């Protein structure tokens, strides 16, 4: 039995779809009872757990052999995921698949630090593991849909940095494959999309697909920080993105990884298709 934690999130939903498509036996874990009930209506075996409450983890791990887990970008990610590692170790889980981040091995930017801390804890635990280390998500652009719709523009502090972003659907497909096939234990997979783009190039693709001009603006850090915080983004996250921008601008996230195709047998989704599939959200 496989347990998918974080099943309500961007990636968790795709892991659930991937496992369903493969006919795998799995349960999906939700923090909210409402979401668990909703998933149950669609035929998914749903359970409720909260990483902050270890007793709920123990209960949902009964009869489970393999676990996928992911956590929202939260300042206490290492602590929450540490609880997951402890519980899966106690439960004798045979394979733990952790959603991590590119840059984790070198602790290259602030967001990578808690992920590497959890990876180290897993390595020390003796639990057979696979780490998925994706580059930035194409779906991040959906957060800019309001200004793309309203002003025909989006604002990010990345200058002309090129990043080989990945569609979360490909991450879900990789996770589902890793959970249902042998031979992925002890591996760390760097995951990217099929090409690196700058945001100016993404603006061109958005313009072509949406049939209207979309402009990319890269404001100075302080200006972007004020703008992002006025939209409600917490300061630690804003500072994390500005820090990540240095990694991007140094060209460190440009590399295209062959892993999606190697693991799933499918070509990774190009940026244009991501935009075509989400055109309604940007219109």
Note whether 54 binds ligand NAP by CB under 6 A. no
Which C-beta is closer to ligand NAP: that of 111 or that of 247?
111
The 90-109 contact track toward ligand NAP, x by CB under 6 A, reads ---------x-x--------
Which of 20, 40, 50, 210 binds ligand NAP (CB under 6 A)? It is 50
Binding part of the chain for ligand NAP, among 70-78, 200-208, 225-233, 265-273 by CB under 6 A, reads 70-78
* Contact set for ligand NAP, span 239-268 (CB under 6 A): none
Which C-beta is closer to ligand NAP: that of 70 or that of 127?
70
Residues contacting residue 148 through CB under 8 Å, at least 6 positions apart: 154, 206, 210, 214, 282
Q: Reduced to 3 DSSP states, what percent helix, strand and coil does the chain have, rounded to the nearest 5?
A: 50, 15, 35
Residues contacting residue 47 through CB under 8 Å, at least 6 positions apart: 3, 27, 28, 29, 30, 36, 59, 60
Which of 11, 67, 206, 260 binds ligand NAP (CB under 6 A)? It is 11
Taking the complex as a whole, how short is the minimal distance between the CB of residue 87 and ligand NAP, in angstroms? 12
* Contact set for ligand NAP, span 13-32 (CB under 6 A): 31-32
DSSP alpha helix (H) spans, the chain: 10-21, 33-41, 54-60, 77-90, 112-125, 145-151, 168-180, 199-210, 221-230, 235-249, 259-264, 271-277, 279-282
Binding part of the chain for ligand NAP, among 132-140, 199-207, 221-229, 274-282 by CB under 6 A, reads 132-140
Q: What are phi and psi of 161, to 5 degrees?
A: -60, 140
- If phi > 0 it is left, if psi is from -120 to 50 it is alpha, else beta; for residue 52 that is alpha
Q: Are 174 and 210 in contact (CB under 8 A)?
A: no
Note whether 79 binds ligand NAP by CB under 6 A. no
Taking the complex as a whole, how short is the minimal distance between the CB of residue 213 and ligand NAP, in angstroms? 26
Angstrom distance (rounded) from CA 156 to CA 248? 12
* Contact set for ligand NAP, span 107-126 (CB under 6 A): 111
For binding to ligand NAP (CB under 6 A), which residues are involved?
A: 6-12, 31-32, 49-52, 70-73, 77, 80, 99, 101, 111, 134, 136-137, 140
């Amino acid at each position: 039995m496989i347990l998918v934690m974080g099943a309500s999130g961007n990636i968790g939903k795709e892991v659930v779809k991937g496992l369903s498509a493969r006919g795998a036996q799995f349960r999906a874990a939700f923090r909210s009872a409402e979401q668990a009930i909703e998933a149950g209506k669609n035929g998914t075996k749903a359970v409720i757990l909260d990483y902050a409450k270890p007793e709920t983890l123990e209960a949902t791990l009964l009869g489970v052999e393999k676990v996928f887990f992911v956590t929202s970008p939260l300042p206490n990610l290492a602590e929450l995921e540490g609880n997951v590692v402890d519980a899966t170790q106690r439960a004798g889980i045979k394979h733990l698949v952790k959603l991590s981040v590119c840059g984790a091995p070198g602790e290259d930017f602030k967001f990578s630090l808690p992920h590497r801390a959890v990876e180290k804890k897993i390595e020390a635990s003796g639990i057979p593991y696979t780490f998925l280390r994706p580059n930035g998500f194409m779906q991040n652009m959906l957060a800019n849909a309001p200004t793309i719709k309203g002003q025909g523009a989006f604002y990010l502090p990345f200058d002309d940095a090129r990043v080989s972003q990945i569609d979360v659907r490909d991450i879900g497909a990789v996770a589902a494959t890793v959970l249902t096939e042998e031979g992925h234990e002890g591996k760390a997979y760097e995951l990217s999309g099929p090409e690196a783009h700058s945001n100016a190039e993404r603006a061109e693709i958005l313009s072509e697909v949406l049939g209207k001009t979309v402009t990319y603006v890269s404001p100075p850090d302080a200006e972007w920080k004020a703008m992002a915080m006025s939209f409600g983004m917490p300061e630690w996250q804003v500072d994390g993105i500005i820090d990540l921008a240095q990694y991007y601008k140094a060209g460190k996230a440009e590399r295209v990884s062959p892993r999606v195709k190697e693991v799933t047998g499918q070509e990774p989704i190009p940026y244009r298709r991501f935009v075509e599939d989400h055109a309604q959200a940007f219109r």
